[in-house]
Amino acid sequence: MNKKEPILDVKNISMHFGGLKAVDKLSLQVYPDEIVALIGPNGAGKTTFFNCITGIYEPTLGDVFVLRDGKKRRLNGLKPNKVTELGLARTFQNIRIFSNMTVLENVMVGRHCRTKSWVIGAILRDKKTRQEEIETIEYSYNLLEKLDLHKFANEMAKNLPYGAQKKLEIARALATDPVLLLLDEPAAGLNPQETSELKDIINKIKEEEKISILLIEHDMKLVMNISDRVYVMESGRLLAQGTPREISQNPEVIKAYLGEEHA
Amino acid sequence: MFEEIKKSLKVSIWFMFLTFPIMVIKVNLTDKVIIWRWKNLILVGIGSFFLSFIWRYLLERKAKKAKKEEMGIGQTSIFLKIFNNPKYAKPLYIIFLLFILAFPFIFSMYQTNIMISALIYVMLGLGLNIVVGLAGLLDLGYVAFYAVGAYSYALLNYHFHINFWLALPIGGLLAAIFGIVLGFPVLRLRGDYLAIVTLGFGEIIRLILENWDEFSFGPSGISNIPRPSLFGINLGVKESTIFIYYLIVFMSIITIFVVNRLQNSRLGRAWIALREDEIACQAMGIDKTKTKLTAFALGATWAGFGGVIFAAKTTFINPASFTFLESAIILSIVVLGGMGSIQGVILAALIMILLPEYLRAFSDYRMLIFGASMVLMMVFRPEGLIPSSRRKYEYDPTKR
């Protein structure tokens, strides 16, 4: 599998905040059709790493490359919206849905970077704009159906239960037509039943949509279950990487997670 | 119930104590005697008791309603039901439109003039609604764009004799450019900081107009601005007032049409997403810079149009017409009406401009009533007179 070129290639990136090295020379690759997990104790720099590759921060050192349609592009210093256009879509650790829009509209916003109409189109509502609008609605509705959210389509997003809001964030991210989906703690706050549903969704995205997934997660059972490879971070550095099996037996990882005496 | 009465009693005693020095004691300096007006004390006591009781009752009712809504059995008021049901809403709108169209023939010139200013405010309110209501950018200097529109017609006409019809698009365009000029430095700002900078911007424009005599003729303003001509025919005062009236009605309808289309478009959704969550909005591939600047430019355009019409209507403008108070009134129109709600903004603009005109008898209390109604609105109906509702998209999966 690893013969192919990686779709996300992160080379030695560092993120310094003054003297603090939140991410320190981290390298990470994600290959097509692969689920990769990034784990580590709280404060290890996982979310900072996400923010670095999605353009919210500009990394101090190192390079981030993404492969889309056979073209390799460097992401450093690009704005978040450009990064999304190039095919990285993300969800957030604390839900960031657009609460005063309907569920369908939330997903339609995700289509923004794949559609074109602007002021004149909006006012004149010409044939092209109408066509684009219909396609957007159709695409978004189909996505909602895939994630079993279509019954809420015209509800206000803020009125959804927590689990559904988390799914909506995934649906919205998928609407941007990404090559890689970055999930920041998708299972946080979900009950066991919702977590298992999430597992199916992630697998389905990988199988049916051919989208790779990079996720940050604390739920070890989920991580070990679905990921093909796991990266472990601790205080900004890469501690270990390998298959879930290798990781779960790595003494250093166990030490980092559970403390000295368990090692 | 007993608890409530006790609380209200406490409030009334507290109020009697607080107002004691000013309401009861009166020192007559000429006769060197103190007059004790005990009757006032009783009146204050009874008054505050009842007001506090009503206040508490209304708050409780609101809490109950909120609870009901949370449980999903909330019922919208009859008012809203009518507005949201196209069966009733359509004839209502048509009657309203007919009334507006017949207005100058039913009422006097004076009334028509008032209605013209009210409709200018409808336009301004809808324009600001794009910036504040949809894109969530708190703009306290909106009147600056209104001034740009008015002065661009007045000055272009003074120097180059450009007529109204040419000045109208130029005024809108210039205001849009000023919108972008303001937009650039405030791209990174949000909330309070944005409000402060826009407030400053509004004042800068006004101060320039006031002090740069060679350019804008200072506080004395510009007079003899011609009214719009109709196909080259210059109309008399009465005819041209009626003509301006229909012009502003037409422009308002255009504004409503455009804003309505904008808010349910790709761009409108991007604005609302920007209002809801800036970071998530960018992560969805929305270009923050472009979206914000478009909001500022489009919002300002309507103020520019409004300004040109205002200058043509009054035939005289000076900086005193473009003070911060105007910005505040336009902003309250948007907030009172309901952020992002077109019907709400129209209703609020008509109320805010027409009521003070027709309640001249209470003009001494105007600001008091204005302030009190603002406080009451924010406590009991923070979402505005007619809260905005998002469009529901019908999609039938079987018809694929």
Residue B256's Cβ-count burial label (10 Å; 0-12, 13-18, 19+) is middle
- Tell me the average pLDDT of chain A: 90
Task: Verify whether the Cβ–Cβ distance A81 to B286 is below 8 Å.
Answer: yes
Task: Verify whether the Cβ–Cβ distance A119 to B279 is below 8 Å.
Answer: no
Q: CA-to-CA distance for A27 and B337, rounded, in angstroms?
A: 53
Task: Verify whether the Cβ–Cβ distance B285 to A56 is below 8 Å.
Answer: no
Task: Verify whether the Cβ–Cβ distance B270 to A121 is below 8 Å.
Answer: no
Residues B124, B127, B130, B132: is their CA dihedral positive or negative? Answer: negative
Å from B271 to nearest chain A CA? 10
Å from A111 to nearest chain B CA? 8
Task: Verify whether the Cβ–Cβ distance B395 to A137 is below 8 Å.
Answer: yes
Check: CB of residue B145 under 8 Å from CB of residue B304.
Answer: yes
Residue that has been written with the tokens 């698009």 in this structure? B169
- pLDDT tops 90 at residue B61: no
Question: Minimum mean pLDDT among B47-61, B104-118, B302-316, B377-391: which range?
Answer: B377-391
Q: Which residues in chain A are contacts of B279 at CB distance < 8 A? A: 56, 80, 92, 96
Å from B364 to nearest chain A CA? 40
Å from A175 to nearest chain B CA? 9
Task: Verify whether the Cβ–Cβ distance B265 to A99 is below 8 Å.
Answer: no
pLDDT tens digits, B326-360: 999 999 999 999 888 999 999 999 999 998 888 88
- pLDDT tops 50 at residue B400: no
Residue that has been written with the tokens 């941007």 in this structure? A176
Roughly how many angstroms between the first and final C-alpha of chain B, as a whole number?
60
Supply the DSSP string of A118-130, one letter for each residue: -HHHHHH--HHHH
One-letter amino acid of A261? E
| Average pLDDT for A106-121 | 91
Write down the pTM of the prediction: 0.88
pLDDT tens digits, B216-229: 898 999 999 988 88
Nearest to A56 among B262, B268, B279 (CB): B279
Q: Which residues in chain A are contacts of B286 at CB distance < 8 A? A: 81, 109, 112-113
Task: Verify whether the Cβ–Cβ distance A122 to B280 is below 8 Å.
Answer: no
Task: Verify whether the Cβ–Cβ distance B285 to A153 is below 8 Å.
Answer: no
Nearest to B277 among A84, A98, A141 (CB): A98
pLDDT the model gives residue A261: 59
Q: CA-to-CA distance for A85 and A178, rounded, in angstroms?
A: 8
- Residue B63 in tokens: 């809490």
pLDDT tens digits, A119-164: 888 888 899 999 999 999 999 999 999 999 999 988 899 999 999 9
Task: Verify whether the Cβ–Cβ distance B276 to A98 is below 8 Å.
Answer: yes
Å from A170 to nearest chain B CA? 11
Confidence band for B77, pLDDT divided at 50, 70 and 90 = low
Check: CB of residue A14 under 8 Å from CB of residue A61.
Answer: yes
Residue A37 Cα to chain centre, angstroms: 11
Residue A263's Cβ-count burial label (10 Å; 0-12, 13-18, 19+) is exposed
Q: CA-to-CA distance for B11 and B44, rounded, in angstroms?
A: 11
pLDDT tens digits, B130-172: 999 999 999 999 999 999 999 999 999 999 999 999 999 999 9
- Of B393, B325, B390, B388, the closest CA to residue B132 belongs to B388
Confidence band for B396, pLDDT divided at 50, 70 and 90 = low
Residue that has been written with the tokens 């959704």 in this structure? B269
Searching chain A, which residue's CA lies closest to the CA of residue B294?
A119
Searching chain A, which residue's CA lies closest to the CA of residue B339?
A100
Q: Which residues in chain A are contacts of B395 at CB distance < 8 A? A: 104, 137-138, 141, 153
Q: Which residues in chain B are contacts of A136 at CB distance < 8 A? A: 266
Å from B274 to nearest chain A CA? 9
Residue B340's Cβ-count burial label (10 Å; 0-12, 13-18, 19+) is buried
Range picked from B38-42, B59-63, B123-127, B382-386 for highest mean pLDDT: B123-127
Task: Verify whether the Cβ–Cβ distance A125 to B258 is below 8 Å.
Answer: no
Residues A247, A250, A253, A255: is their CA dihedral positive or negative? Answer: positive
Domain ranges, ordered by start, for chain B = 2-70, 79-380
Q: Which residues in chain A are contacts of B392 at CB distance < 8 A? A: 102, 154
Residue ranges of chain B whose CB lies within 8 Å of a chain A CB: 258, 261-262, 265-270, 272-273, 275-277, 279-288, 294, 298, 390-393, 395, 397, 400
Task: Verify whether the Cβ–Cβ distance B266 to A133 is below 8 Å.
Answer: yes
Q: CA-to-CA distance for B49 and A192, rounded, in angstroms?
A: 55
- Of A6, A62, A55, A53, the closest CA to residue A29 belongs to A6
Phi and psi at residue A57, in whole multiples of 5°?
-110, 155
Q: Which residues in chain B are contacts of A92 at CB distance < 8 A? A: 279-280, 283
- pLDDT tops 60 at residue B398: no
- Three-state DSSP class for B111? helix
Nearest to B269 among A81, A84, A108 (CB): A108
Q: Which residues in chain A are contacts of B280 at CB distance < 8 A? A: 92, 96-98
Secondary structure tally for chain B: helices H, strands E? 16, 2
* Interface test mutation site (partner B, options A105, A120, A126, A152, max chain B beta carbons within 10 A): A105
* Helix H or strand E encompassing A248: helix A244-249
Confidence band for B22, pLDDT divided at 50, 70 and 90 = confident
Task: Verify whether the Cβ–Cβ distance A112 to B286 is below 8 Å.
Answer: yes
pLDDT the model gives residue A136: 93
- Residue A215 in tokens: 């996720």
- pLDDT tops 50 at residue A263: no
Nearest to A81 among B261, B262, B282 (CB): B282
Helix, strand, coil shares of chain A as percentages rounded to 5? 45, 25, 30
Task: Verify whether the Cβ–Cβ distance B266 to A136 is below 8 Å.
Answer: yes
Searching chain B, which residue's CA lies closest to the CA of residue A53?
B283
Confidence band for A2, pLDDT divided at 50, 70 and 90 = very low
Q: CA-to-CA distance for A82 and B282, rounded, in angstroms?
A: 9
Å from B288 to nearest chain A CA? 8
Q: CA-to-CA distance for B400 and A137, rounded, in angstroms?
A: 12
* Interface test mutation site (partner A, options B284, B289, B294, max chain A beta carbons within 10 A): B284
- Put residue B231 in one of left, alpha, beta given phi > 0 → left and psi -120 to 50 → alpha: left
pLDDT tens digits, A15-40: 999 889 999 999 999 999 899 999 98
Question: Minimum mean pLDDT among A1-10, A49-58, A209-218, B100-109: which range?
Answer: A1-10
- Strands in B53-94 per DSSP E: none
Domain B79-380 fold is ABC transporter involved in vitamin B12 uptake, BtuC (1.10.3470)
Searching chain B, which residue's CA lies closest to the CA of residue A141?
B395
Confidence band for B25, pLDDT divided at 50, 70 and 90 = confident
Q: Which residues in chain A are contacts of B281 at CB distance < 8 A? A: 98, 109
Check: CB of residue B269 under 8 Å from CB of residue A101.
Answer: yes
| Average pLDDT for B280-306 | 94
- Residue A105 in tokens: 């509209």
Task: Verify whether the Cβ–Cβ distance B266 to A125 is below 8 Å.
Answer: no
- The C-alpha angle A68, A71, A75, rounded to 5 degrees, equals 70
Q: Which residues in chain B are contacts of A102 at CB distance < 8 A? A: 390-393
